[in-house]
Structure 1
């Protein structure tokens, strides 16, 4: 089993990437069948977050395929009740059946299925499937980041050039005045996973992420970004650790490894808790 004995040397996670790719594609087909069809909607988190019949249907597909294929892996999904047994597993699946449910329900195309394999707190295989956009982003530990099979890499903005930053207005307002004239705020991208993929693909230069994002929003996209030459960190520059008791995260910043220090040094006015 992948990851079962680290003493054997570097682990090849390609079989897991193949598995989660197949599963995410199937879940994407199921979700897409509901897209634009006004699926039934419920509200969770005290009425703050919508969840639809499409989310649950895609989650069932992922769970059936992945848990049957890797019964020894743990499981963490936005649409499955959390089981603390995952904390006893070195390796687990981290899943968001539809990242960007609000966009999905509004008929916007910027949503995706997000699936990652996390080993000892770090993502080692990840895929984002965006069926309405005909895009797939993949990455594997030690490998390349790909979009629809082509290599992708983060942007390389000019030293004093414009910086396309995708974040809420109040987050961008927290950037220090000395840097703000260079910042071009990109229109809100509802799916956090897809937003991070756009940083990896060089279509935007960076993003600031509000506190309380979850493991399932981030794990697959985090790996894709890192393999494309970027990084996702907290405001102290620390990498994220996944599969903890608490699965939410503080304010985060994502950009190329060259640009990240500049952003981190200029976002001190953003609340950190």
Structure 2
């Protein structure tokens, strides 16, 4: 899908918005922000809420006809058919943020017809901004990024039990990467070649994935379901819950094929 002028304009908008939200979140970082536990034992901080409010105000003021999907707030406007949606996670990796670790990011994407058409990950504690447009590749701080070459040793993230099920000829060249709390950032690590791939447990959401999905796909990889299909975003009332997904794989090439085979045979595939 080529990048249209609307996609380019939207990317500039969400890049500016994510940068502002990142600065807000960074002002709370390592400052012991007030924290609450949501349903499902998931934490949220005052930084999440402040960044989310900034994003919602800025983005829906600029694009009042777009839908809104966020981890922290609902779209309370009158329901009507919408062609495009913002998909937002004000802080992906909140647990890392609370612990004072720098691996967290602001994730913002625009989706149309179920797929991302602009994506930004703003990682202010690491001074990194990752962006992507369909057909224009992925960049980090303005430099093009690509997935890892298959000839290199494989560093793979995800449950150790999954890694052990990979074919024997892979095991000698695979290193199990330490856990990264931010799923979006972990997928970005695959996009820029720090990781060869990552398994993703069930129950991730649109806001964890949409921006990172586009960044990875434009860098030469994919995020796929157990059936080898790309994700569809903005789906409500699905069998596993609104905006939720089952087990996934983020990788490329032959490793992707082998990782998919492992997940397809898992008990929660």
Structure-1-length-normalised TM-score: 0.90
Q: State the 1:172 CA deviation.
A: 2.6
Contact 1:126-1:221 within 8 A present in 2 as well: yes
Q: What stretches of structure 1 move > 2 A for 4+ residues in a row?
A: 9-12, 81-88, 168-183, 265-273
Aligned to 2:30: 36
Instruction: Choose from 79, 94, 105 the match for 2:98.
Output: 105
- Once residues 251 and 177 of structure 1 are traced to their aligned partners in structure 2, the CA distance between those partners, rounded to angstroms, is 22
Q: List alignment gaps of at least 5 residues for structure 2.
A: 237-241
Give 1:112-151 correspondences, 5 Å limit: 112-151=105-144
Contact 2:120-2:130 within 8 A present in 1 as well: yes
Q: State the 1:67 CA deviation.
A: 0.4
Q: Sort the Cα spacing of 1:172 and 1:86 in 2 relative to 1 into closer, same or farther, 3 A.
A: farther
Asked if 1:25 is matched to 2:22, the reply is no
- Once residues 259 and 102 of structure 1 are traced to their aligned partners in structure 2, the CA distance between those partners, rounded to angstroms, is 29
Q: State the 1:180 CA deviation.
A: 3.1
Q: List alignment gaps of at least 5 residues for structure 1.
A: 1-5
Contact 2:3-2:135 within 8 A present in 1 as well: no
- Once residues 42 and 14 of structure 1 are traced to their aligned partners in structure 2, the CA distance between those partners, rounded to angstroms, is 37
Aligned to 2:157: 166
Between 1:214-223 and 1:137-146, the stretch displaced more is 137-146
1:230-262 deviation per Cα after TM superposition (whole angstroms, max 9, x unaligned): 000011101000000021101000112453123
Contact 1:174-1:267 within 8 A present in 2 as well: no
3-state SS of 1:259 partner: helix
**RMSD between superposed Cα atoms in Å:** 2.0
Give 1:158-197 correspondences, 5 Å limit: 158=151, 162-177=153-168, 179-197=170-188
Q: State the 1:179 CA deviation.
A: 3.6
Aligned to 1:260: 256
Instruction: Choose from 178, 191, 203 the match for 1:212.
Output: 203
- Once residues 59 and 253 of structure 2 are traced to their aligned partners in structure 1, the CA distance between those partners, rounded to angstroms, is 33
- Once residues 74 and 85 of structure 1 are traced to their aligned partners in structure 2, the CA distance between those partners, rounded to angstroms, is 11
Instruction: Choose from 191, 214, 238 the match for 1:223.
Output: 214
Q: State the 1:176 CA deviation.
A: 4.7
- Once residues 194 and 86 of structure 1 are traced to their aligned partners in structure 2, the CA distance between those partners, rounded to angstroms, is 32
Aligned to 2:147: 154
Structure-2-length-normalised TM-score: 0.92
Aligned to 1:56: 49
